[in-house]
Structure 1
Amino acid sequence: MFPFNKKSDVNYLNYLIMNSENALKCAQLFRNAMMGTKPPAEHQEEIKELESKGDSLTHEIYKGLNAAHPDFLKREDILELATRIDDVLDGIEASIARFDYLGIDFTDNYMKDFSEVLVQSCEHILTAMKLLSERKFVQMREHIVIINSMENDADRIMREGIRQIFSNPTDPYTDFKLKEIYERLEETTDDCENVADILESIVLRYA
């Protein structure tokens, strides 16, 4: 872990970058779970470990803010970024957990598409965070726009998935479970967009 200085953004940004990398790795594991041949729930423990690591990193940021004084970033921005990145990790873990307690042992094309949206969104979050650490505010805009666009794709995927459920109903219990998973995955892409919204507010303030 990076020690916190009394007055420095560097340490906060390092922690935020570390947790963005952690979120990307978690999204990649989730994609592997959706693309693989094993029941998705078998990946739950590995994803849970990354989610727990994210909790630890977020706690370090909260703890450090009690003693340090950031230079250019507002304390509220740091707290919001830390919280929203943690929400992404929580959302991915909550999504994989549903395969376990809902007893879904298969994936479909909608789940696979959601997983790709999550990976790409987390890739752009990480890139934007690295640009923030370099104070390259203008360059951050491209990645913020892409994250917002990916969330729109997720909205479309959810609508198409739910439309398919009601257009071709099968077992009502299975249909309910699939709808639950689609909606939770869409909420997780919303969490990615929430990170982008905070980054956009920082860009507007400093660019």
Structure 2
Amino acid sequence: MLFKKKTDTDFLNLLIQSAENSLKASHVFRTAMNGDQPPAIYVEQLKELEHAGDNITHQVYKGLNQVFVTPLDREDIITLATTLDDVMDGIEATIARFDYLNITFTDQIMKDFAEVLVKSCEHMVAAFKLLDKKKYQEIREHSVAINSLENEGDRLMREGIRAIFTNPKDPYHDFRLKEIYERLETTTDSCEDVADILDSVLLRYS
């Protein structure tokens, strides 16, 4: 059992912080998708959250270099930290596309994707809090929910791309939409990656 000193790294708390940071980002992204202003005005706010996420991930890596005994397998901690960072990066990368592709509008697909991301991040936060309390079996309901939300993300991307090719407009306009839809779907994939890793962890520890 790990007896913590003041200098020890609380890895599970850092993972919770990372999940909560992604949840904050998902709320900002949802506001960007549902607001009346161009989404790109939220670029800097999400960039700051992305930097905060990078800092948390760095603390995890630094801590792993300083301790020998960890609450979970070291590889699991690294993978969880990395995939959580992927979720944050995905949200930030999506809003960045609104900026450099000069997209000043949103549509229902984007708004629905934003809801999927918020719900997925809510389940991630809940799951990591349960992990910290060693309530492994209760994590399962959240990982199942995240997997279902990822399926919804797949559906949204297919629906969006089908609409592009069913009712084509200006090629540049269509390219920009496709870029956003595909990046959002990749981000929901990252949420599912977190859930899958949590499932593998609970199989070993429950």
Fold-level match, TM-score > 0.5? Answer: yes
Question: C-alpha separation between the residues in 1 aligned to 2:167 and 2:117?
Answer: 27
Give how far 1:68 is off: 1.1
Q: 1:172 maps to which residue?
A: 171
Instruction: Determine if contact 1:4/1:64 at 8 Å carries over to the other structure.
Output: no
Q: Deviation of residue 3 (structure 1)?
A: 5.5
Q: SS in structure 1 opposite 2:116?
A: helix
SS in structure 2 at match of 1:170? coil
Q: Which residue of structure 2 lines up, in the alignment, with residue 37 of structure 1?
A: 36
- Does residue 65 of the first structure (1) align with residue 27 of the second (2)? no
Q: Which amino acid aligns with 2:91?
A: I
Corresponding residue for 2:196? 197
Give the whole-Å Cα distance in 1 for the aligned partners of 2:85 and 2:179. 21
CA distance in 2, matches of 1:69, 1:56: 22
Instruction: Report 1:10-159 matches (<5 A).
Output: 11-159=10-158
Instruction: Give the fraction of aligned pairs with identical amino acids, expressed as a percent.
Output: 61
Unaligned runs of at least 5 residues, structure 1: none
Q: Normalising by the residue count of structure 2, what TM-score does the alignment of the two structures yield?
A: 0.96
Query: What is the deviation of 1:206?
Result: 1.3
C-alpha displacement of 1:72: 3.8
The alignment covers a number of residue pairs equal to 202
Runs (5+) with no aligned partner, structure 2: none
- Cα-to-partner distance string for 1:13-56 (whole Å, 9 max, x where unaligned): 11111111100000110000000000000001000000000000
> In the alignment, residue 112 of structure 1 is paired with which amino acid?
K
**Aligned-pair distance for 1:4?**
4.2
> Displaced runs of 4+ in structure 1, greater than 6 A?
none
1:205 and 1:186 map into 2 onto residues whose CA distance is 29
Structure 1: which amino acid aligns with 2:140? Answer: R
For residue 106 of structure 2, give the secondary structure of its aligned residue in structure 1: coil
Distance 1:124 1:3, change over 3 A: farther
- The answer to whether the Cα contact below 8 Å between 1:131 and 1:140 also exists between their aligned partners in 2 is yes
Residue-by-residue CA offset, 1:46-74 (whole Å, 9 max, x unaligned) = 00000000000100110010011334410
Residue 132 of structure 2 aligns with an amino acid whose one-letter code is S
Structure 1 length-normalised TM: 0.95
